[in-house]
Amino acid sequence: MAATAIKSLFSRPATLMYPGHPAKRTIVTRGHIVIDPANCITCRSCHRKCPTGAICVEVKEKTWQIDKLRCVICNSCVDVCPTKCLSMDPAYPKALTARTGIYKVAVAGPKKKEPAPAAVEAQKPDKV
């Protein structure tokens, strides 16, 4: 044990100081979840798949919400999203200074199907 203590005194530290030396980022680095609200159809797949319940989707209000303090960055919601509006950004999120890590976004919601042009023509009354 004494040999380990002496070796630690005269060697460089095994860790790096984060602000001075940025952390290494790889392809599999998970930083935080990003949503593209224009593509979200409020299907609630991400809400159901989230193991910690950090994601809340309100269909009537057309909102998507994540509690960043509950999110464990497991990537389950990104994998299950049918429209791929969720993605994982490799950049680390900024540190929170207060217990308000809730991020709420208004989303587009499901797209309404437009009737076929032939059906629209058939609905127009003829002028007499």
Domain ranges of the chain: 28-111
Which position has the token pair 């599999």?
A: 28
Distance (Å, rounded) from C-alpha 43 to C-alpha 6?
A: 59
Per-residue pLDDT of the chain (128 residues; tens, 9 = 90+): 788 888 888 887 777 666 666 777 777 778 889 999 999 999 999 999 999 999 999 999 999 999 988 999 999 999 999 999 999 988 877 777 777 778 888 888 777 666 666 655 556 665 55
Burial environment of residue 118 by CB neighbours within 10 A (0 to 12, 13 to 18, 19 or more)? exposed
Distance (Å, rounded) from C-alpha 37 to C-alpha 32?
A: 16
Q: CA angle, corner 66, sides to 62 and 71, nearest 5?
A: 155
Distance (Å, rounded) from C-alpha 64 to C-alpha 9?
A: 51
Distance (Å, rounded) from C-alpha 20 to C-alpha 71?
A: 27
pTM for the model stands at 0.66
Identify the CATH number of the domain defined by range 28-111: 3.30.70.3270
